[in-house]
């Protein structure tokens, strides 16, 4: 019998040779193999991968009392016999539907469970049941000769193709099986890719939404920041920063680093940043603010081993002085006209948040002057290597690097971009730790 392949749709290039013999569903054990045929590249199955050592297996689900249905013997594209199993009903099909089955040939005339063959309010009930039963398998629908409309509806519902009952031919049927298996595999891969893209887009939107928006309305200070997470293809890491101006005109800046740089650390960093902003607007500052942040950290962290370093700066409304608190964090760098860039005093700082219960963080008064540029950063900027050796850049190397860039006349975003890029180049590639850099400038 000729094959059940719709003439109106293109089929992969036919292999040479004709299948020999025929198979009757009533043969012993319900499984048979066919004789030789031509060769063509074998596709991958939707279940068990198809390679040169794998035999394709077809499960035929049909109930033909007259015994007129005959499935021909077939070979796959590699010249291996296609194994055939038969089931008279869906219960038997479920038992035979093992992982080594690659394709199902379903007779659409088969009654659905609990329904008489004459009931036809939904002719594809049986097909839908099989699709739910075997979501990972390729399915070919078998319909009456010339009933292309019903076959097309079967494809719309979820079958990979449809065949005409009285046109079964070994050569074309084997090709249809391999086409269905490959199409199912391709559809599955495309669906996974689409889901992965949507998930990545959703994560990107979420992470972008969690990055801070500085609140500096009314301030004459200029703000710039650079952020580079250590996680591959991430937008957010364990580093965090923020800058706000309170109603009294004071500008508060903060930068911090949760140990580690995975998604849990990124989430904790966001929580600490939001808590810092809320506490700052509530009027807390210095030791009182950091003590409260430590309580937040202790309640939100997953392990007692998690800690966070922090640097806070509150700049007076006149912009000439600031209060500095360090919680195990590197000291900011300040540059002023006529003077080399240098680190702010870092003596008498307190421990990182989460290390010592009842710790204290003294606030140190710093004179800034009339014109200055203040750079806050995380340790990812200074812990990169220099060349292929084990030597790290360190704070001294970072200070020298920034001095050179300032001498070139770089400021703001250009200064931060050039600094981070040079640190990466000195490291010989991307930095493995998160990097956050924040810059505040005051120009009369």
Q: What is the pLDDT of residues 205-259, one digit of tens each?
A: 656 656 788 999 999 999 999 998 876 656 678 899 999 999 999 999 999 999 9
CA 256 to chain centre: 26
pLDDT over 80 at 125, yes or no: yes
> Which strands make up the sheet holding 138-143, listed edge to edge?
31-32, 83-87, 57-61, 103-107, 138-143, 161-164
CA atoms within 13 A on the CB side of 30: 15
Q: Which residues pair with 256 in a beta bridge?
A: 240, 310
Q: pLDDT value at position 156?
A: 92
- Model confidence band, residue 45 (pLDDT cutoffs 50, 70, 90): very low
pLDDT over 50 at 404, yes or no: yes
Q: pLDDT value at position 48?
A: 53
φ, ψ at 171 (rounded to 5°): -65, -50
Rounded (5°) CA angle 412-413-419? 95
What does 321-332 look like in DSSP terms, one character per residue?
EEEEEEEB-PPP
Q: Which residues pair with 22 in a beta bridge?
A: 72
φ, ψ at 307 (rounded to 5°): -140, 170
Q: pLDDT value at position 177?
A: 87
Give the Cα separation of 135 and 143 in Å (integer).
21
pTM: predicted TM-score of the whole model, two decimal places? 0.59
**Who wins on pLDDT, 30 or 435?**
435
Q: Are 371 and 360 within 8 A, CB to CB?
A: no
**Who wins on pLDDT, 22 or 350?**
350
pLDDT over 70 at 443, yes or no: yes
Mean pLDDT is lowest, of 105-109, 196-200, 321-325, 334-338, for: 196-200
Mean pLDDT of the chain: 82
Instruction: Look at residues 219, 187, 198, 155 and name the one whose alpha carbon lies nearest to residue 46.
Output: 187
- Model confidence band, residue 163 (pLDDT cutoffs 50, 70, 90): confident
Most confidently modeled range among 91-105, 164-178, 225-239, 279-293: 279-293
Structure tokens at 66: 């007259």
Q: How many other C-beta atoms can be found within 10 angstroms of the C-beta atom of residue 71?
A: 24
Average pLDDT over residues 333-338: 96
Is the sign of the CA dihedral 200, 205, 207, 208 positive or negative? Answer: positive
Report which DSSP code applies to 129.
H
Average pLDDT over residues 182-186: 87
**Spatial CB neighbours of 10, under 8 Å, sequence gap ≥ 6:** none
Q: Are 317 and 370 within 8 A, CB to CB?
A: no
Give the Cα separation of 316 and 282 in Å (integer).
17
* Run of H or E residues at 279: helix 263-281
φ, ψ at 393 (rounded to 5°): -65, -50
């Amino acid at each position: 019998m000729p094959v059940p392949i719709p003439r109106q749709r293109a089929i992969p290039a036919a292999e040479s040779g004709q299948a020999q013999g025929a198979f009757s569903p009533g043969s012993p054990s319900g499984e048979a193999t066919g004789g030789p045929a031509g060769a063509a590249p074998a596709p991958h199955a939707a279940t068990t991968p198809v390679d040169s050592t794998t035999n394709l297996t077809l499960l035929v689900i049909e109930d033909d009392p007259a015994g007129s249905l005959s499935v021909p013997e077939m070979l796959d594209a590699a010249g291996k016999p296609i194994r055939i199993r038969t089931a008279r009903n869906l219960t038997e099909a479920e038992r035979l539907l093992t992982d080594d089955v690659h394709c199902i040939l379903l007779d659409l005339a088969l009654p659905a469970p609990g329904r008489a063959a004459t009931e036809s309010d939904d002719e594809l009930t049986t097909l839908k049941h099989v699709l739910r039963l075997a979501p990972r398998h390729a399915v070919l629908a078998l319909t009456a000769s010339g009933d292309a409309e019903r076959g097309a509806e079967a494809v719309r519902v979820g079958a990979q193709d449809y065949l005409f009952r009285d046109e079964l031919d070994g050569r074309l049927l084997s090709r249809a099986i391999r086409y269905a298996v490959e199409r199912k595999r391709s559809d599955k891969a495309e669906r996974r890719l689409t889901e992965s893209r949507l998930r990545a887009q959703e994560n990107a939107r979420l992470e972008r939404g969690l990055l801070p928006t500085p609140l500096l309305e009314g301030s004459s200070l200029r703000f710039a920041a650079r952020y580079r997470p250590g996680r591959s293809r991430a937008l957010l890491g364990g580093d965090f920063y923020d800058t706000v101006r309170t109603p009294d005109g004071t500008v508060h800046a903060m930068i911090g680093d949760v140990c580690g740089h995975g998604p849990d650390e990124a989430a904790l960093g966001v929580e600490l940043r939001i808590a810092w902003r809320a506490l700052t607007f509530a009027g807390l500052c210095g030791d009182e603010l950091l003590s409260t942040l430590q309580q937040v950290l202790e309640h939100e962290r997953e392990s007692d081993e998690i800690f966070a370093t922090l640097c806070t700066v509150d700049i007076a409304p006149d912009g000439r002085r600031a209060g500095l608190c360090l919680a195990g964090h590197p000291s900011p760098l300040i540059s002023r006209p006529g003077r080399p860039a240098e680190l702010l005093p870092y003596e008498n700082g307190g421990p990182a948040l989460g290390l010592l219960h009842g710790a204290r963080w003294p606030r140190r008064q710093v004179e800034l002057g009339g014109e200055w540029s203040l750079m806050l950063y995380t340790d990812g900027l200074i812990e990169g290597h220099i060349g292929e050796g084990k030597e790290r850049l360190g704070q001294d190397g970072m200070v020298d690097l920034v001095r050179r860039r300032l001498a070139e006349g770089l400021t703001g975003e250009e200064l931060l971009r050039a600094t981070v890029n040079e640190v990466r180049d000195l490291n010989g590639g991307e930095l493995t730790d998160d990097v956050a850099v924040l810059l505040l400038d005051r120009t009369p």
